Amino acid sequence: MSKKKKPAQISRADQVRILSEALPFMQKYDGELVVVKYGGHAMGDDELAQKFARDIVQLKQTGLNPIVVHGGGPQIGHMLERLNIQSSFEDGLRVTGRETVEVVEMVLAGSINKKIVANIQKAGGRAIGISGKDGNLVTARKLRRTKKDPESNIERILDLGFVGEPQEVNTSILETIIYSDAIPVLAPLGVSKEGDTYNINADTFAGAIATALQARRLLLLTDVEGVLDKDGELIREISLSNAKKYIADGTISGGMIPKIETCMSVVETGVNGVVILDGRVPHIVLLELFTEHGVGTRVSETDIPNDD
Protein backbone atom coordinates (compact mmCIF):
# COMPACT_ATOMS: atom_id res chain seq x y z
CA MET A 1 0.00 0.00 0.00
CA SER A 2 1.40 3.40 -0.99
CA LYS A 3 1.77 6.03 1.68
CA LYS A 4 -0.45 9.07 1.53
CA LYS A 5 1.51 12.05 0.30
CA LYS A 6 1.90 14.77 2.90
CA PRO A 7 0.89 18.31 1.93
CA ALA A 8 3.71 20.67 1.06
CA GLN A 9 4.96 22.65 4.05
CA ILE A 10 5.36 26.42 3.95
CA SER A 11 8.75 27.54 5.23
CA ARG A 12 9.05 30.06 8.05
CA ALA A 13 10.52 32.55 5.59
CA ASP A 14 7.49 32.21 3.30
CA GLN A 15 5.14 32.56 6.26
CA VAL A 16 6.83 35.80 7.30
CA ARG A 17 6.77 37.10 3.71
CA ILE A 18 3.05 36.34 3.31
CA LEU A 19 2.16 38.05 6.59
CA SER A 20 4.36 41.02 5.75
CA GLU A 21 2.74 41.49 2.35
CA ALA A 22 -0.75 41.23 3.86
CA LEU A 23 -0.12 43.80 6.61
CA PRO A 24 -0.63 46.96 4.47
CA PHE A 25 -3.98 45.62 3.30
CA MET A 26 -5.04 44.79 6.86
CA GLN A 27 -4.21 48.36 7.84
CA LYS A 28 -6.10 49.68 4.79
CA TYR A 29 -9.31 47.94 5.85
CA ASP A 30 -8.99 48.44 9.61
CA GLY A 31 -12.43 49.27 11.00
CA GLU A 32 -14.08 49.12 7.57
CA LEU A 33 -17.34 47.34 6.74
CA VAL A 34 -17.17 44.51 4.22
CA VAL A 35 -20.35 42.81 3.01
CA VAL A 36 -19.80 39.24 1.78
CA LYS A 37 -22.54 37.46 -0.12
CA TYR A 38 -21.95 33.75 0.39
CA GLY A 39 -23.65 31.44 -2.07
CA GLY A 40 -23.43 29.01 -4.92
CA HIS A 41 -22.86 25.27 -4.81
CA ALA A 42 -19.61 25.85 -2.87
CA MET A 43 -21.76 26.63 0.18
CA GLY A 44 -22.74 22.95 0.26
CA ASP A 45 -19.12 21.74 0.47
CA ASP A 46 -18.33 21.10 4.16
CA GLU A 47 -14.58 21.63 3.82
CA LEU A 48 -15.00 24.92 1.95
CA ALA A 49 -17.67 25.99 4.44
CA GLN A 50 -15.29 25.47 7.35
CA LYS A 51 -12.53 27.43 5.58
CA PHE A 52 -14.95 30.24 4.74
CA ALA A 53 -16.00 30.47 8.40
CA ARG A 54 -12.37 30.66 9.55
CA ASP A 55 -11.65 33.38 6.99
CA ILE A 56 -14.61 35.45 8.20
CA VAL A 57 -13.41 35.10 11.79
CA GLN A 58 -9.93 36.16 10.68
CA LEU A 59 -11.36 39.29 9.05
CA LYS A 60 -13.08 40.20 12.32
CA GLN A 61 -9.97 39.53 14.38
CA THR A 62 -7.79 41.65 12.08
CA GLY A 63 -9.99 44.72 12.57
CA LEU A 64 -12.53 44.47 9.73
CA ASN A 65 -16.28 44.28 10.26
CA PRO A 66 -17.63 41.52 7.98
CA ILE A 67 -21.35 41.09 7.33
CA VAL A 68 -22.36 37.78 5.76
CA VAL A 69 -25.41 37.57 3.51
CA HIS A 70 -26.10 34.04 2.34
CA GLY A 71 -28.06 32.52 -0.49
CA GLY A 72 -29.36 28.99 -0.71
CA GLY A 73 -30.70 28.31 -4.19
CA PRO A 74 -29.51 24.68 -4.51
CA GLN A 75 -30.70 23.82 -0.99
CA ILE A 76 -34.11 25.39 -1.64
CA GLY A 77 -34.34 23.49 -4.92
CA HIS A 78 -33.60 20.18 -3.19
CA MET A 79 -36.21 20.81 -0.51
CA LEU A 80 -38.85 21.75 -3.08
CA GLU A 81 -38.11 18.52 -4.95
CA ARG A 82 -38.47 16.50 -1.75
CA LEU A 83 -41.83 18.15 -1.12
CA ASN A 84 -42.85 17.71 -4.77
CA ILE A 85 -43.41 21.44 -5.25
CA GLN A 86 -42.83 22.68 -8.81
CA SER A 87 -40.52 25.66 -9.29
CA SER A 88 -39.47 27.79 -12.27
CA PHE A 89 -37.16 30.72 -13.04
CA GLU A 90 -37.47 33.98 -14.96
CA ASP A 91 -34.23 35.86 -15.77
CA GLY A 92 -32.40 34.03 -12.99
CA LEU A 93 -35.07 34.70 -10.32
CA ARG A 94 -37.13 31.93 -8.73
CA VAL A 95 -40.88 32.35 -9.23
CA THR A 96 -42.17 32.12 -5.64
CA GLY A 97 -45.79 31.24 -4.85
CA ARG A 98 -47.25 31.30 -1.34
CA GLU A 99 -46.44 27.63 -0.76
CA THR A 100 -42.92 28.10 -2.09
CA VAL A 101 -42.14 31.14 0.04
CA GLU A 102 -42.88 29.13 3.18
CA VAL A 103 -40.25 26.58 2.12
CA VAL A 104 -37.81 29.35 1.19
CA GLU A 105 -38.14 30.91 4.64
CA MET A 106 -37.75 27.54 6.36
CA VAL A 107 -34.53 26.75 4.48
CA LEU A 108 -32.94 30.21 4.44
CA ALA A 109 -33.75 31.48 7.93
CA GLY A 110 -33.58 27.99 9.44
CA SER A 111 -31.14 25.30 8.47
CA ILE A 112 -28.74 27.31 6.28
CA ASN A 113 -28.50 30.39 8.48
CA LYS A 114 -27.91 28.43 11.67
CA LYS A 115 -25.32 26.17 10.07
CA ILE A 116 -23.25 29.19 8.98
CA VAL A 117 -23.58 30.68 12.47
CA ALA A 118 -22.44 27.38 13.99
CA ASN A 119 -19.43 27.17 11.65
CA ILE A 120 -18.30 30.70 12.52
CA GLN A 121 -18.61 30.01 16.23
CA LYS A 122 -16.78 26.70 15.85
CA ALA A 123 -13.96 28.69 14.21
CA GLY A 124 -13.70 30.92 17.29
CA GLY A 125 -15.95 33.82 16.34
CA ARG A 126 -19.25 35.15 17.63
CA ALA A 127 -22.11 35.19 15.13
CA ILE A 128 -25.75 36.21 15.25
CA GLY A 129 -28.08 34.89 12.56
CA ILE A 130 -31.18 36.86 11.56
CA SER A 131 -33.31 37.40 8.48
CA GLY A 132 -34.38 40.66 6.92
CA LYS A 133 -37.70 40.24 8.71
CA ASP A 134 -36.13 40.52 12.17
CA GLY A 135 -36.26 43.98 13.70
CA ASN A 136 -37.71 45.26 10.42
CA LEU A 137 -34.20 45.10 9.02
CA VAL A 138 -35.46 45.06 5.41
CA THR A 139 -38.86 46.33 4.37
CA ALA A 140 -39.66 44.81 0.99
CA ARG A 141 -42.07 45.39 -1.85
CA LYS A 142 -43.15 43.10 -4.67
CA LEU A 143 -40.62 42.98 -7.49
CA ARG A 144 -42.12 44.01 -10.81
CA ARG A 145 -40.39 43.19 -14.06
CA THR A 146 -41.22 43.15 -17.75
CA LYS A 147 -39.88 40.88 -20.47
CA LYS A 148 -39.88 41.57 -24.20
CA ASP A 149 -40.90 38.79 -26.57
CA PRO A 150 -38.05 38.54 -29.13
CA GLU A 151 -40.44 37.68 -31.98
CA SER A 152 -43.36 40.05 -31.41
CA ASN A 153 -41.32 42.70 -29.60
CA ILE A 154 -44.23 43.01 -27.14
CA GLU A 155 -43.44 43.47 -23.46
CA ARG A 156 -45.27 41.42 -20.87
CA ILE A 157 -45.37 41.87 -17.10
CA LEU A 158 -43.74 39.02 -15.17
CA ASP A 159 -45.56 37.80 -12.08
CA LEU A 160 -42.85 36.40 -9.85
CA GLY A 161 -45.18 35.87 -6.90
CA PHE A 162 -43.61 36.57 -3.51
CA VAL A 163 -40.31 37.76 -4.92
CA GLY A 164 -39.45 41.15 -3.50
CA GLU A 165 -36.91 43.91 -3.58
CA PRO A 166 -35.60 45.98 -0.68
CA GLN A 167 -37.55 49.19 -0.10
CA GLU A 168 -36.02 50.35 3.18
CA VAL A 169 -33.08 49.12 5.28
CA ASN A 170 -33.01 49.76 9.03
CA THR A 171 -29.30 49.63 9.85
CA SER A 172 -29.62 50.11 13.60
CA ILE A 173 -29.95 46.41 14.36
CA LEU A 174 -26.86 45.63 12.26
CA GLU A 175 -24.84 48.35 13.92
CA THR A 176 -25.79 46.95 17.33
CA ILE A 177 -24.52 43.49 16.31
CA ILE A 178 -21.36 44.75 14.61
CA TYR A 179 -20.22 46.96 17.44
CA SER A 180 -20.86 44.23 20.01
CA ASP A 181 -17.99 42.37 18.30
CA ALA A 182 -20.32 39.83 16.72
CA ILE A 183 -20.65 38.92 13.05
CA PRO A 184 -24.12 39.33 11.49
CA VAL A 185 -25.28 36.44 9.28
CA LEU A 186 -28.28 37.51 7.22
CA ALA A 187 -30.93 35.46 5.40
CA PRO A 188 -32.29 37.37 2.36
CA LEU A 189 -35.94 37.69 3.33
CA GLY A 190 -37.98 40.86 3.73
CA VAL A 191 -41.38 41.79 5.04
CA SER A 192 -43.80 44.20 3.38
CA LYS A 193 -45.65 46.96 5.21
CA GLU A 194 -48.72 44.72 4.91
CA GLY A 195 -46.89 41.87 6.65
CA ASP A 196 -46.20 39.61 3.64
CA THR A 197 -42.94 37.68 3.49
CA TYR A 198 -40.84 38.18 0.35
CA ASN A 199 -38.00 36.13 -1.04
CA ILE A 200 -35.23 38.52 -2.13
CA ASN A 201 -32.38 37.63 -4.45
CA ALA A 202 -29.34 37.30 -2.17
CA ASP A 203 -27.15 39.47 -4.41
CA THR A 204 -29.77 42.22 -4.44
CA PHE A 205 -30.20 41.92 -0.68
CA ALA A 206 -26.43 42.14 -0.10
CA GLY A 207 -26.25 45.18 -2.38
CA ALA A 208 -28.98 46.94 -0.39
CA ILE A 209 -27.14 46.24 2.87
CA ALA A 210 -23.81 47.47 1.43
CA THR A 211 -25.46 50.63 0.13
CA ALA A 212 -27.30 51.41 3.37
CA LEU A 213 -24.10 50.99 5.40
CA GLN A 214 -21.84 52.54 2.73
CA ALA A 215 -19.56 49.53 3.08
CA ARG A 216 -15.99 49.68 1.82
CA ARG A 217 -16.38 46.45 -0.13
CA LEU A 218 -19.12 44.21 -1.48
CA LEU A 219 -17.93 40.72 -2.41
CA LEU A 220 -20.34 38.40 -4.24
CA LEU A 221 -19.27 34.77 -3.94
CA THR A 222 -20.79 32.44 -6.51
CA ASP A 223 -19.96 29.16 -8.24
CA VAL A 224 -18.28 30.56 -11.33
CA GLU A 225 -14.93 32.21 -11.89
CA GLY A 226 -16.53 35.58 -12.55
CA VAL A 227 -18.00 37.19 -15.67
CA LEU A 228 -16.78 35.43 -18.81
CA ASP A 229 -16.64 36.81 -22.32
CA LYS A 230 -18.04 34.93 -25.32
CA ASP A 231 -14.77 33.01 -25.63
CA GLY A 232 -15.02 31.82 -22.02
CA GLU A 233 -12.24 34.09 -20.76
CA LEU A 234 -12.53 35.92 -17.45
CA ILE A 235 -13.32 39.63 -17.67
CA ARG A 236 -11.39 41.18 -14.78
CA GLU A 237 -12.77 44.72 -14.99
CA ILE A 238 -16.14 45.99 -16.20
CA SER A 239 -17.19 49.64 -16.31
CA LEU A 240 -20.82 50.63 -15.86
CA SER A 241 -21.21 51.45 -19.55
CA ASN A 242 -19.69 48.14 -20.67
CA ALA A 243 -21.86 46.20 -18.23
CA LYS A 244 -24.97 47.53 -19.97
CA LYS A 245 -23.55 46.54 -23.36
CA TYR A 246 -22.72 43.01 -22.15
CA ILE A 247 -26.30 42.51 -20.92
CA ALA A 248 -27.73 43.83 -24.19
CA ASP A 249 -25.58 41.59 -26.41
CA GLY A 250 -26.07 38.46 -24.30
CA THR A 251 -22.52 38.18 -22.93
CA ILE A 252 -24.10 38.51 -19.49
CA SER A 253 -27.22 36.35 -19.17
CA GLY A 254 -29.31 34.22 -16.80
CA GLY A 255 -28.40 34.34 -13.12
CA MET A 256 -25.47 36.65 -13.81
CA ILE A 257 -27.87 39.46 -14.79
CA PRO A 258 -29.14 40.21 -11.25
CA LYS A 259 -25.56 39.98 -9.96
CA ILE A 260 -24.30 42.58 -12.42
CA GLU A 261 -27.39 44.76 -11.92
CA THR A 262 -26.67 44.69 -8.20
CA CYS A 263 -23.02 45.59 -8.80
CA MET A 264 -24.04 48.50 -11.03
CA SER A 265 -26.61 49.93 -8.61
CA VAL A 266 -24.21 49.64 -5.67
CA VAL A 267 -21.33 51.29 -7.55
CA GLU A 268 -23.68 54.12 -8.56
CA THR A 269 -24.38 54.83 -4.87
CA GLY A 270 -20.68 55.38 -4.17
CA VAL A 271 -19.65 51.99 -2.76
CA ASN A 272 -16.25 51.02 -4.17
CA GLY A 273 -14.86 47.61 -4.98
CA VAL A 274 -17.86 45.48 -5.96
CA VAL A 275 -16.36 42.13 -6.94
CA ILE A 276 -17.76 38.80 -8.17
CA LEU A 277 -15.62 35.94 -6.84
CA ASP A 278 -15.41 32.18 -7.28
CA GLY A 279 -16.54 30.79 -3.94
CA ARG A 280 -15.19 27.34 -4.85
CA VAL A 281 -11.63 28.61 -4.38
CA PRO A 282 -10.39 28.20 -0.80
CA HIS A 283 -9.67 31.49 1.03
CA ILE A 284 -10.94 33.54 -1.92
CA VAL A 285 -12.07 36.39 0.37
CA LEU A 286 -8.59 36.71 1.90
CA LEU A 287 -7.00 36.58 -1.55
CA GLU A 288 -9.21 39.43 -2.74
CA LEU A 289 -8.74 41.69 0.28
CA PHE A 290 -5.19 40.95 1.40
CA THR A 291 -3.22 40.53 -1.83
CA GLU A 292 -2.04 43.11 -4.33
CA HIS A 293 -3.84 41.70 -7.37
CA GLY A 294 -7.54 41.05 -6.93
CA VAL A 295 -9.28 37.97 -8.25
CA GLY A 296 -12.61 37.61 -10.04
CA THR A 297 -14.52 40.36 -11.86
CA ARG A 298 -14.68 43.88 -10.48
CA VAL A 299 -17.42 46.28 -11.54
CA SER A 300 -16.33 49.90 -11.32
CA GLU A 301 -17.63 53.30 -12.34
CA THR A 302 -15.06 53.71 -15.12
CA ASP A 303 -12.72 51.45 -17.06
CA ILE A 304 -9.78 52.33 -14.80
CA PRO A 305 -10.92 52.43 -11.16
CA ASN A 306 -9.41 54.79 -8.63
CA ASP A 307 -7.21 53.22 -5.96
CA ASP A 308 -9.39 53.32 -2.87
48, part of any domain: yes
Q: Is residue 264 part of a domain?
A: yes
- Within a domain: 275: yes
pLDDT at 213: 94
Cα–Cα dist 105/232, whole Å:
35
Q: Is the pLDDT of residue 5 over 50?
A: no
Q: What is the pLDDT of residue 29?
A: 66
Residue 59: which residues within 8 A CB-CB, separation 6 or more? 34, 66, 285, 286, 289
Number of domains observed in the structure of the chain? 1
Positive/negative CA dihedral, 198, 191, 277, 55: negative
Instruction: Please report, to the nearest 10 degrees, the dihedral formed by the alpha carbons of residues 227, 120, 183, 142 taken in order.
Output: 50
CA 142 to centroid of chain Cα atoms = 21
- Residue-wise pLDDT for 17-55, tens only, equals 555 576 666 666 667 899 999 987 668 789 999 999 999
In this predicted model, what pLDDT tens digit does every residue of 164-173 receive, in sequence order? 999 999 999 9
In this structure, is residue 188 part of a structural domain?
yes
94 lies in a domain? yes
- pLDDT-derived band at 305 (thresholds 50, 70, 90) equals very low
Q: Which domain holds residue 118?
A: 33-294
> Out of 43-52, 93-102, 146-155, 263-272, which region has the weakest mean confidence (pLDDT)?
146-155
90 compared with 32, residue with greater pLDDT? 32
Percent share of the chain, pLDDT over 90:
42
- Nearest to 127, CA basis, from 62, 76, 70, 53: 53
For residue 258, the domain's CATH number is: 3.40.1160.10
pLDDT of residue 153: 61
Question: Looking at the domain assignment, is residue 22 inside a domain?
Answer: no
Q: Tell me what percent of the chain is helix, strand and coil, each rounded to the nearest 5.
A: 40, 25, 35
Distances (CA, A) of 140 to 28, 76, 108: 34, 20, 16
